[in-house]
Structure 1
Amino acid sequence: MESTKAGHRGACLCGAVSIVARTKSDSIGACHCTMCRKWGGGPLLAAECEGDVDFEGAEDISIFASSEWAERGFCRQCGTHLFYRLKQEQHYAIPVGLFEDGDRWKLTEQIFVDQKPPFYSFAEKTKDLTGEEVFAQYTGA
């Protein structure tokens, strides 16, 4: 599946869940928080969507409430990570590896850089935010 005017297309490993998502841009961000690293074994590389996400095979999606404000979805058949979602705003972070148009993305932001371990780094020049700065963006503090 590929990018279309209607959105970026992709699917989980087993194909039980497919997705069409209209992203905010062709930029992706890396989240280095301890939860994302525990969830996927490394940073979450994701594209942002403002609720503009359609799933086929929704009956195969399991959801884990990972905090008071967010939840994570995965395929109950193969375990593929499908999304991180803020509960209130319906803001989605979709793992960019789900999409079939992998060469179009540009890494532009890193968040929770204060939780990033020292054993990896990215070469791209990005906007870097600490956890405190990320929470301030959403709370206006």
Structure 2
Amino acid sequence: MSDLKIYKGKCLCGEVSFKAEAPKKEVGLCHCTMCRRWNSGPFHALAIPFDALKVESGEENISYYRSSDYARRAFCNNCGSSLFYHGDKIPEIAHEVYFSAGLLEEPAGLKMAGHIFCASKGDYYEIEGDLPQHETV
């Protein structure tokens, strides 16, 4: 049995669609300030190898915003959907891309792994449940 999974997803308007064949992972929830501002709440992220991500349609509708000296974030020009986070200047994760689990076709068959950057979570909500919580990464 292979531990590879085919991920398929698209933005809200459907203009941008993507596919990836990558190891099956669990979804992480990032509570950092930048992710919350980018998503209007915590970022439900799934990491896959950068080379595994294939944009099937709408590549011309993808814009990148350099949100810091070390990372860029992609969004759909048409509907504004948050698409991908790429820490392209962080050697430990430059080979990965994180995409929003909310873009996936359902059933996605995934589970939550835990929470990161809990020290900077918003004061307007509580993190509930017994999944691991990390102050930073």
Residue number in structure 1 paired with 2:135: 130
The structure with more helix, counted as a fraction of residues: 1
Kept in 1: contact 2:17–2:55 (CA 8 A): yes
**Secondary structure of the residue that 1:83 maps to in structure 2?**
strand
Residue number in structure 2 paired with 1:38: 37
Residue number in structure 1 paired with 2:67: 66
In structure 2, how many angstroms separate the alpha carbons of the residues matched to 1:116 and 1:60? 31
Residue number in structure 2 paired with 1:114: 119
Measured after TM superposition, the shift of residue 80 of structure 1 is: 0.8
Distance 1:82 1:29, change over 3 A: same
- With 52-61 and 120-129 compared, the bigger mean Cα shift is at 120-129
TM-score normalised by the chain length of structure 1? 0.81
How many residues align structurally? 128
- The percentage of counterpart residues that share the same residue type is 35
Kept in 2: contact 1:70–1:84 (CA 8 A): yes
Residue number in structure 1 paired with 2:7: 8
Distance 1:72 1:102, change over 3 A: farther
Residue number in structure 2 paired with 1:17: 16
Measured after TM superposition, the shift of residue 119 of structure 1 is: 2.9
In structure 1, how many angstroms separate the alpha carbons of the residues matched to 2:85 and 2:95? 10
Residue number in structure 2 paired with 1:77: 78
Q: Which runs of 5+ in 2 are unaligned?
A: none
In structure 1, how many angstroms separate the alpha carbons of the residues matched to 2:47 and 2:81? 18
In structure 1, how many angstroms separate the alpha carbons of the residues matched to 2:111 and 2:119? 22
**Secondary structure of the residue that 1:39 maps to in structure 2?**
helix
Deviations 1:91-141 (A, max 9, x none): 11110010012451211121101011243234442222222xx2xxxxxxx
